[in-house]
Amino acid sequence: MTTQYRDFEGFIAEAKEIFKDRIYTDYLRRFAYGIDASCYAYVPRVVVRAVNENEIITLFTLSQKYNTPLTFRAAGTSLSGQACSDSVLVLANAFWQDIEIIGNAESIKCSCGVIGIEANEALKPYGKKIGPDPATINNAMIGGIFSNNSSGMCCGVKQNSYNTIKSARFILFDGTILDTSENAKPNESIESFLQTHKDKADALLALRKEILQDTDLCELIKRKFAIKNTTGYSINALLDFSEIKDIINHLFIGAEGTLGFVSLVEYECVEDYAYKACALLFYENLALGAKAVEILAANESLVSAAEIMDYACLDSARGLDSAPSELGQIESGACAILVQLESSTQKELDSKIAFISKELESVPSLFGVHFSSDEKTMASWWKIRKALLPLAAGSRPSGSIVITEDICFPISTFAQGIDSITKLFEKFNFQGIIFGHALSGNVHFIITPNLNDEKESQAFGAFMEAMVDSVIALQGSTKAEHGTGRMIAPFVEKEWGAKAYAINRRIKEIFDPHALINPDIIISDNPQIHTQNLKQSSEVEDFINQCMECGFCEKVCPSRELTLTPRQRIAVRKEIARLEALLAESSAKQDSNTTQDSSERTETKESANAEVANTEQNGEYRAECGSIFELKSGLCEMSARSYLKGSAEAQDEAIADLRAKPQKSITTNAETTNAEKRGECGTKCGSIFELKSGLCEMSARSYLKGSAEARSEAIADFSQRDNAQKLKELKQGYQYFGIDTCATCSMCSLSCPLEIDSGKIASKLSPATKGTFSRFVAAQSAKHFSTTLSLAKGGLRIANFSSNMLGKNTLSNLSKKLKFLPYIPHSLPSANAYRLESKDSNAQSQVAIIYFSTCINRSFAPQSSLKDTRALQEVFESLCQKANVSVVYPQNLSNLCCGKAYKDYPQSAEFKHKEVYKALESSVKELQSKGVKQIHIVCDHSACSYELKNGLKELDSTLTILDMPEFIESTLLPRLHITPLDEDIALYAMCATKKGKWDKSLESIAKTCTNGEVIVHSKTQCCGFAGNKGFICSELNASALRELSEFYANKQKGDSRGDSACGLESQIENGKIDSNLESTKQSSTQNKAQKHKKLRLGFSSSSTCEIGLNDKTNIIWQNLLYLVDSVSVSK
């Protein structure tokens, strides 16, 4: 039985039985997971993580049963509000990762959770890529790219999803799976659909016939889709295609998740040209720039990209590293166009350069037309274009947010369009920058309004309306590639006209008859939805203030599937600040109203009590209602929450509607009784207001009896209590979700356009949670560090003894269940008993290294079950002896630590920092006094190396420290004779090596030491072991390594797909493979399987990461030193 009101409680109760721990109802995760890249702030009532198609079908069933809308979300990088929800948000990303290359890369099948760049990486060996190339391709997922019909800098209209789709796999509202591919199962095929859903097919064909019979409508559709256009549905599908399969394929493109669920997409692949050249052209003004654009657009078949940038863009880019000197010579009003040409041969590229250069001679440029194929030069020019968003975001005023808009004009009105936007900036007092894909007439602009300010918020709404009018007047698109969403939904009819808009509405009704799939997106009856629920920015710590919630950080975060991502940690932090500010303001207002006479308050309260009693007797509301308002208005909490979400206008409409409607009698049935048990208002809740405020009729009538002052007081009281409860939940949950499960690896800063390091949140807040006693213990352990390490080794011996007695797996499983114990992995190292003594390999040697062996490696030795159980220090000494390099340990090494172990205790960390630098400087001076000419300081744990290197920058020290892989590559390998292994090996470059940019050294060493394939899972950017967190928060490590574990398990089974540091890809890059790629790939895989041993060994440069890697895979992981030593002899 279905309900007429939104029964979220019923939905949640049943969904919990199915989804278990993948359904989230707590406020912290509902708020955090509801965050997307748009300017809208919606908090879903419930969030569900779906992992397969059956679960999507189940969600559709529950949605209709309980009348609860669904919104599907992949990466959350959409900008127009189409991926946020105040109902049921369904996450479909982490477990939707399948990629299948068809034939010789004629096409590629991708699940909806595949990131765009991952598809291109898979196609790279074939010289192919997918057509769509949005600026967010490094982060956006196929589901969103397809559903938004995203394009980009190079693909234009010709290679977008609409023009490169081959097939797709959809799930409709009734649970039907429709697979439009050639090899679809019989019950999922288009033929089956035509039999079971003939009514829908007929309805679509009727719409097509209606369009074809209307000449004006046909011409309108052709004209609108001749340029980039994502306003409304892709109704051109009804004009372009006659077969139902093709119509449905193309209608779902750009439908923004409002017609059904897109499970998988098959794209036709396009060529990824090997030869490229760029030119950065400067013009005195936009009018001249527009003329150049016209020339480039007229030769679109020869030009891959033409990116225009106004003066404000260029002015903001002057301070960039390697910025061209021309930026310092241009004057106000100038503009630039970055042009890119591509070809499959150098000869063809040269021909294109000559032709385009000649064509552009007719438009005077400031510095001439000069094309370059130099990689560094091209990269520096593209850096300007790609830096525009972070530059605008980073320099925005405090409290403001970033809004990126995109519109499109015919090339004939392109210059007028840019001019109109510039004038609107001036009219509404917005500072903005204008840039875009000029080849397509696609204009982007960025403004940074402060939506906390009512005046500025109203100005933004007026600006949007004026912009729409301006774009329509110039026959443009109000949305070119970002999707309609909520931002343009109120203007779809205005842009398209009544007839075309009616077609849009009927398409929605055909596929979503109950209006439960992403409501208010594209089609909305709310004319103000674009200005409602806008984000408000709150001031927090300086290092995270400028976050624009783009989500670029999320794919590299090790906790992304466990708790929160960097974007979400920052957003929750800002929400805490916002609620604290609101409560402080409310408290101040209450303090100012303390002059009211207490007797008057008592009288009011008694009167309210009497009124409540009367209304209860009259059956107007139940005792469960009014838990907060029973002394004031009788407004139930559930209704009040919904009521407060509406705009003032919607609230007034709801009240007026209620006043005009005669009172109904209250009846009780089984459904009402069940609702009462759940503490709800019953079947009447939202019966009048469900489309406006959700205010139940019973509570509303009681609410209306109070005075305006009483009603206002009731609302204020509810808001304060509600905000206080939310704040309490956020603060309590943030310790685990925001701090404890943050690996503080700072990988997010490498992906963030603004280089924001959200790991600093945990680094800043964690010390504040440490009490006086724990700080005292830390200080004492730092002062007596050798004793601390001895205790640690003792603990290892006890753990290993227990493991031997009970069994490794038994002890490991037991430690998981006993929460008061740290996790004891079955791969726990042994205690290190090796005695460290300086080794002079040769009295005449002029090369010496100061070997700072880290505290963690002085504590750990390989497991006793391994073939090579030597301590790491012994292995390194062996290598140095072969290479004729003396090894010197720093003085007092047993008491030294880089300070990273004390990251939560800043004073102790600083103490250890200074201690180790002093010891290293002393050792350097001692060697210098002995006449040693080449002195290297080497550290044997990459995380500690990174810590020491950064510390040196702050101290302005003359010391130079090398991480072990850097030293092996630069100094040891040239002195050694290597006999490579004949087997594939796994390689893991820990996060610190990537931040330090010496991860390539690991790859270089590994490739030198084996003839087999060096297999890297590049998607895992951090393992989440994070020093001690692998022991005290083992679920972080397990979650971070989920995909890596599956990847290497498949590799050991012989699966040739996936990431690779060398192998087929490098052979193609080196020109060894140039024909029949598919057969070559198959034979290459077969040959490797015959020639090289099964994958069994893995190498890294972090002993702590290796513990987690050993624990989560069936590969033996050790330090890279063991590999080098096993294959090397002296020269």
pLDDT confidence of residue 339: 97
User: Does residue 772 have a pLDDT over 90?
Assistant: no
Q: Which of 598-602, 659-663, 730-734, 749-753 has the lowest mean pLDDT?
A: 659-663
Statement to judge: residues 808 and 675 lie in one domain = no
Q: How many CA atoms lie within 13 A of 982 on its CB side?
A: 6
| Size of the chain, expressed as the number of residues it contains | 1131
User: Does residue 356 have a pLDDT over 90?
Assistant: yes
Write the single-letter amino acid at 343. Answer: S
pLDDT confidence of residue 1062: 38
Q: Which of 635-639, 669-673, 697-701, 862-866 has the lowest mean pLDDT?
A: 669-673
Q: How far is it, in rounded angstroms, from Cα 539 to Cα 554? A: 22
pLDDT confidence of residue 1129: 96
Does 775 reside within a domain? no
> Which uninterrupted H or E stretch holds 134?
none
484, 522 Cβ separation under 8 angstroms: yes
pLDDT confidence of residue 1070: 35
* 1067 C-beta neighbours (distance < 10 Å), count: 16
Q: How far is it, in rounded angstroms, from Cα 761 to Cα 729? A: 18
| Those residues with Cβ within 8 angstroms of residue 728's Cβ, 6 or more apart along the chain or in another chain | none
CA–centroid distance for 46 within its chain: 20
User: Sign of the CA dihedral 555, 559, 564, 567?
Assistant: negative
Q: Environment class of residue 366 by beta-carbon count within 10 Å: exposed (0-12), middle (13-18) or buried (19+)?
A: middle
First to last CA, the chain: 82
User: Does residue 609 have a pLDDT over 90?
Assistant: no
Q: How far is it, in rounded angstroms, from Cα 140 to Cα 149? A: 12
Dump pLDDT digits (tens) for 552-576.
999 999 999 999 999 999 999 999 9
Domains contained in the chain, number: 3
pLDDT confidence of residue 646: 54
Does 82 reside within a domain? no
What CATH number should be reported for the domain holding residue 375? Answer: 3.40.462.10
119, 1071 Cβ separation under 8 angstroms: no
Statement to judge: residues 699 and 792 lie in one domain = no
pLDDT confidence of residue 536: 87
Phi, psi of 939 (to 5 degrees): -115, 140
> Which among 416, 448, 482 is the end of a domain?
482
Q: How far is it, in rounded angstroms, from Cα 691 to Cα 645? A: 12
Dump pLDDT digits (tens) for 962-980.
999 999 999 999 999 999 9
Closest C-alpha to 448, from 395, 487, 402, 388 = 402
Write the single-letter amino acid at 505. Answer: R
User: Does residue 155 have a pLDDT over 80?
Assistant: no
* 659 C-beta neighbours (distance < 10 Å), count: 10
Statement to judge: residues 667 and 797 lie in one domain = no
74, 264 Cβ separation under 8 angstroms: no
Q: How far is it, in rounded angstroms, from Cα 466 to Cα 479? A: 14
Statement to judge: residues 923 and 794 lie in one domain = yes
Checking 779-785 for CB contacts under 8 A at 24+ apart, the result is 779/905, 779/907, 779/908, 779/911, 781/908, 782/897, 782/902, 782/905, 782/908, 782/911, 782/912, 783/911, 784/895, 785/855, 785/894, 785/895, 785/896, 785/897, 785/912
Dump pLDDT digits (tens) for 997-1012.
999 999 999 999 999 9
Range of 128-132, 148-152, 699-703, 929-933 with top mean pLDDT: 128-132
| Those residues with Cβ within 8 angstroms of residue 305's Cβ, 6 or more apart along the chain or in another chain | 153, 154, 338, 339, 340, 437, 439
Statement to judge: residues 976 and 1125 lie in one domain = yes
pLDDT confidence of residue 247: 98
Strands, E, within 269-421: which ranges? 270-271, 275-283, 305-309, 335-343, 403-408
Q: What is the mean pLDDT of the chain?
A: 87
Which domain covers residue 684, as residue numbers?
A: 596-706
3-state helix/strand/coil string of 368-387? CCCCECCHHHHHHHHHHHHH
Range of 95-99, 791-795, 807-811, 840-844 with top mean pLDDT: 95-99
pLDDT confidence of residue 594: 58
pLDDT confidence of residue 351: 97
Residue pointed to by tokens 């009483």: 710
Dump pLDDT digits (tens) for 742-754.
999 999 999 999 9
pLDDT confidence of residue 729: 97
Dump pLDDT digits (tens) for 430-448.
999 999 999 999 999 999 9
Cα dist from 1027 to 8, 534, 902, whole Å = 42, 40, 11
Cα dist from 1108 to 796, 963, 1037, 1103, whole Å = 16, 21, 7, 9
> Which among 657, 690, 706 is the end of a domain?
706
pLDDT confidence of residue 615: 40
User: Does residue 601 have a pLDDT over 70?
Assistant: no
pLDDT confidence of residue 1005: 98
Task: Look at phi and psi of residue 515 and say left if phi exceeds 0, alpha if psi is from -120 to 50, else beta.
Answer: left
Closest C-alpha to 884, from 850, 930, 936, 848 = 848
Q: Which of 74-78, 97-101, 390-394, 581-585 has the lowest mean pLDDT?
A: 390-394
Closest C-alpha to 738, from 1036, 991, 1031, 990 = 1036
If pLDDT is split at 50, 70 and 90, which confidence band does 1057 have? low
> Which among 706, 724, 745 is the end of a domain?
706
If pLDDT is split at 50, 70 and 90, which confidence band does 815 have? confident
Q: What is the mean pLDDT of residues 335-345?
A: 96
pLDDT confidence of residue 593: 66
User: Does residue 665 have a pLDDT over 50?
Assistant: no
Instruction: Please give the share of the chain, as a percent, with pLDDT higher than 90.
Output: 71
Statement to judge: residues 836 and 696 lie in one domain = no
Does 510 reside within a domain? no
Statement to judge: residues 1056 and 959 lie in one domain = yes
Q: What is the mean pLDDT of residues 348-364?
A: 97
Q: Which two tokens stand for residue 801?
A: 């003894």
Statement to judge: residues 693 and 795 lie in one domain = no
Q: Rg for the chain (alpha carbons), in Å?
A: 32
* Cα maximum dimension of the chain: 105
Q: Which two tokens stand for residue 287?
A: 């009018």
pLDDT confidence of residue 717: 77
pLDDT confidence of residue 537: 83
Q: How far is it, in rounded angstroms, from Cα 1052 to Cα 535? A: 48
Statement to judge: residues 700 and 802 lie in one domain = no
pLDDT confidence of residue 705: 57
pLDDT confidence of residue 691: 32
pLDDT confidence of residue 1010: 97
pLDDT confidence of residue 847: 81
Residue pointed to by tokens 């599956």: 1046
pLDDT confidence of residue 681: 40
Dump pLDDT digits (tens) for 459-507.
999 999 999 999 999 999 999 999 999 999 999 999 999 999 999 999 9
Q: How far is it, in rounded angstroms, from Cα 313 to Cα 385? A: 9
Cα dist from 928 to 450, 842, 848, 949, 1039, whole Å = 60, 16, 10, 21, 48
Q: What is the mean pLDDT of residues 1070-1098?
A: 49
The better pLDDT of the pair 84, 1085 is held by: 84
Does 70 reside within a domain? no
- DSSP H helices, 474-620, are 492-496, 498-511, 566-592, 598-617
Q: Which two tokens stand for residue 7?
A: 């029964």
Dump pLDDT digits (tens) for 935-965.
999 999 999 999 999 888 777 677 889 999 9
Does 884 reside within a domain? yes
Phi, psi of 197 (to 5 degrees): -130, 45
* 587 C-beta neighbours (distance < 10 Å), count: 11
User: Does residue 154 have a pLDDT over 60?
Assistant: yes
Residue pointed to by tokens 């939560």: 904
Range of 583-592, 871-880, 930-939, 1079-1088 with top mean pLDDT: 871-880
- The model's pTM is 0.88
Cα dist from 152 to 132, 391, 417, whole Å = 7, 20, 19
* 1078 C-beta neighbours (distance < 10 Å), count: 14
Does 774 reside within a domain? no
Dump pLDDT digits (tens) for 673-721.
343 333 334 333 333 333 333 444 445 555 555 667 766 776 777 788 8
Task: Report the SS3 class of residue 32.
Answer: helix
